[in-house]
Amino acid sequence: MAFYDGVFKTLGLEDWCGEAASNAPLSMADLLAKAGGEKAEAAGPIFPFPSLDHLNKSCDSVIQTRDLTKGIEDGFLAAKPALKSVLDPLTQPLSWMLDGALYLFNVVPWFIMIPLLVAISWYASRSKGVTIFVAFSICLLAFIDHYDVAMQTLSIIFVCTGISVLLGVPIGIAMSRSDSLQRATVPVLDLLQTLPTFVYLIPLIFLFSVTESKLYGIAIILYAIVPVIRLTDLGIRLVDRDVIEAANAFGMSSRQKLIGVQLPLALPNIMAGINQTIMMSLAMVVIASLVSAPGLGVNVLRGIRNLELGVGIVAGVGIVLLAVILDRVSKAALSRVDMTRVGH
């Protein structure tokens, strides 16, 4: 006799609680019970919580948790053709960009790519120390035969960070200009920021082929876009109201205020958001290697799967070096922005 039998009898629901067939696959506990000839069940809690499974023991018409999860999966699979027909053409350019970046970073010889990356670092940071560190780190990765995989990782970060900034900054600007849009967007950003990284991959695996670059590209962008949106919105909202009033007194339009006043004053916050977006892109690239994302993350997974300690540690050190490079260059660029703003 199940614990909640009396509840359904008291409520007069015996007829409703008739035999109801379940289409969901049997749980492991049910399979073990059948294999053991349905022997006496282990003693359960004295007063079990009225969960679906416990209520189902007293009333077959109450679905079980496995029915709920099966229903979610069936619903997603039913909507898959419609979703795929809409998302495929929209996301295909992302695959082209990722494949093109991977091809470009692999085809360009090291004696052109390394000086180019060092020059970009110098242009962004104008710091001798940062530039020397970038050159040393890339040469070190090349010396230990990790240049190719490091460039693959770097190409993915460049594409995904660039798209995150191109999408995130306008969204942040729109949020700063509309309180209602901000209230509607913040819960979505909270969800994206708190969702475990592996969960991003689950619906994407159902929608796209593992061989498609956009599978991991979308996951990286969704995970990394949040900081640049939040900090763009925050930076514009923190602009001094006296400055805005002065701009209004000069008769500036909303567009002129945004481009000439708000964005320059909010630039340090926006740059901080870009820095965080870069770091989160790099973190997600490693996770995305589970779904065919190339680069250093593949070597990390190889070290875990095959228990190759050296392979995993060397790849991990390579990821750390890339993280430090990107962090130092972006922070040096942020310092330059601050100094330029103070100088003006």
Evaluate if residue 108 carries a pLDDT over 60. yes
Q: Pull the structure tokens for residue 253.
A: 């339009």
pLDDT of residue 16: 78
CA distances from 72 to 56, 77, 217 (A): 19, 9, 25
Q: How confident is the model at residue 102 (pLDDT cuts 50, 70, 90)?
A: very high
pLDDT one-digit tens code per residue, 182-202: 999 999 999 998 888 888 788
Among the residue ranges 14-23, 89-98, 319-328, the one predicted with the least confidence is 14-23
What was the pLDDT predicted at 188? 93
Averaged over 285-309, what is the pLDDT? Answer: 88
Q: What is the pLDDT of residue 25?
A: 61
Nearest-5° Cα angle at 217, 120 to 188:
105
CB 319 within 8 A of CB 150: no
- Two tokens, residue 155: 């190409």
Query: What percent of the chain is predicted at pLDDT more than 70?
Result: 89
pLDDT in tens, 200-257: 788 888 888 888 899 999 999 999 999 999 999 999 999 888 888 888 888 888 888 8
Determine contact, residues 314/146, Cβ cutoff 8 Å.
yes
DSSP annotation of 258 reads I
**Mean of per-residue pLDDT scores for the chain:** 86
Higher pLDDT, 22 or 134: 134
Give dist(CA 226, CA 327) in Å, integer.
17
Query: What pLDDT, in 10s, does the model give residues 213-223?
Result: 999 999 999 99
pLDDT confidence of 166, banded at 50, 70, 90?
very high
Three-state SS string over 81-119 comes to HHHHHHHHHHHHHHHHHHHHHHHHHHHCCHHHHHHHHHH
Q: What is the arithmetic mean of pLDDT over 12-31? A: 64
With b for 16 or more beta-carbon neighbours within 10 A and e for fewer, the 103-136 pattern comes to eebeeeeeeebbeebbeebbebbebeebbebbbe
> Quick one: tokens of 276?
């965080």
- Taking only the tens place, the pLDDT of each residue in 44-60 is 667 788 888 888 888 88
Q: Which domains does the chain have, with CATH numbers?
A: 5-63 (no CATH), 81-343 (1.10.3720.10)
- pLDDT recorded at residue 112: 94
**Residue 87 pLDDT exceeds 70:** yes
pLDDT at 139: 95
